[in-house]
């Protein structure tokens, strides 16, 4: 990414959504700020629940020419008319997933704070890698993806990189020169006005 380019917003859904209200909230957010991609990241493993959510969100994304990828469940991509999958395990099965989904599907891999996992995912055919969390969080094992990892990646590797996890206004300002995308979700959905929260969060990019 050149210095003249600003990172784009990669929006992540909450782990649970109310289909009676969330689609309208999502549409408002997408109409209020340019979004590059949407990830359906439900905690539920029930296929019917995931399908209902995908059916509700897919037209909102696609009507705005925004691709919709699903977290983990790559076998649902074609059946639900989605654009790809986000693999949370560093892409360990990425070659198999690529073979199943074909060359046109978007396949991303979350690689924690591991440069090695990121490189392996890239070699296996990932379209992007994500590192995180970039901020302090009580979740996970406490390992943080440091700015130096993103700096090295942006200088040495052409594959797009997503910064996600516990983002703040200050972190976005700091990481903007070394990230291609910011994965944003939990930071805004608990707010009364998610669009306003998003605009405040990403103000350094505008």
Average pLDDT of the chain is 95
CATH classification (class only), 8-205: alpha beta
CB 131, CB 112: distance < 8 Å: yes
Q: Please, are residues 46 and 17 in contact by the beta-carbon 8 Å criterion?
A: no
Binning pLDDT at 50, 70 and 90, where does residue 2 land? very low
Q: Looking up tokens 């989605």, which residue turns up?
A: 82
Q: What's the CA gap between 184 and 11, in Å, rounded? A: 5
Read off the pLDDT of residues 115-170 as tens digits, 9 standing for 90 and up. Answer: 999 999 999 999 999 999 999 988 778 899 999 999 999 999 999 999 999 999 99
Segment 13-36 mean pLDDT: 98
Nearest to residue 26, comparing CAs of 191, 184, 167, 194?
194
- What global pTM score does this model have? 0.96
Its sign, for the CA torsion 190, 42, 112, 87, is negative
Is pLDDT of 93 > 70?
A: yes
| CA separation, residue 97 to residues 48, 84, 108, 129, 158 (Å) | 22, 10, 11, 15, 22
* Spatial distance between the Cα atoms of 13 and 42, rounded to a whole number of angstroms: 7
Cα 195 from Cα 86, distance rounded (Å): 24
pLDDT above 90 (res 43): yes
Q: Give the residues across from 131 on adjacent strands.
A: 163
Q: Is 65 helix (H, G, I), strand (E, B) or coil?
A: coil
For residue 70, is pLDDT > 60?
Answer: yes
pLDDT computed for residue 140 by the predictor: 77
Q: What is the pLDDT of residue 4?
A: 47
Among candidate residues 36, 28, 39, 40, the one with its CA nearest the CA of residue 6: 36
């Amino acid at each position: 990414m050149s210095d003249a380019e600003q990172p784009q917003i990669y929006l992540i859904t909450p782990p649970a959504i109310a289909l009676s209200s969330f689609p309208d909230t999502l549409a408002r957010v997408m109409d209020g700020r340019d979004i590059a991609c949407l990830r359906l990241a439900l905690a539920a493993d029930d296929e019917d629940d995931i399908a209902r959510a995908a059916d509700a969100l897919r037209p909102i994304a696609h009507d705005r020419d925004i691709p919709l990828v699903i977290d983990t469940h790559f076998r649902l991509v074609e059946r639900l008319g989605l654009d790809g999958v986000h693999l949370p395990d560093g892409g360990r099965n990425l070659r198999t997933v690529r073979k199943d989904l074909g060359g046109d599907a978007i396949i991303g891999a979350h690689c924690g704070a591991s440069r090695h996992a990121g490189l392996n995912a890239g070699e296996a055919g990932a379209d992007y890698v994500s590192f995180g969390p970039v901020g302090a969080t009580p979740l996970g094992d406490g390992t943080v993806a440091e700015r130096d990892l993103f700096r090295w990646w942006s200088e040495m590797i052409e594959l797009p990189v997503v910064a996600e996890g516990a983002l703040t206004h200050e972190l976005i300002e700091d990481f903007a020169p070394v990230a291609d995308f910011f994965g944003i979700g939990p930071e805004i959905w608990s707010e009364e006005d998610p669009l306003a929260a998003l605009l405040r969060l990403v103000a350094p990019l505008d």
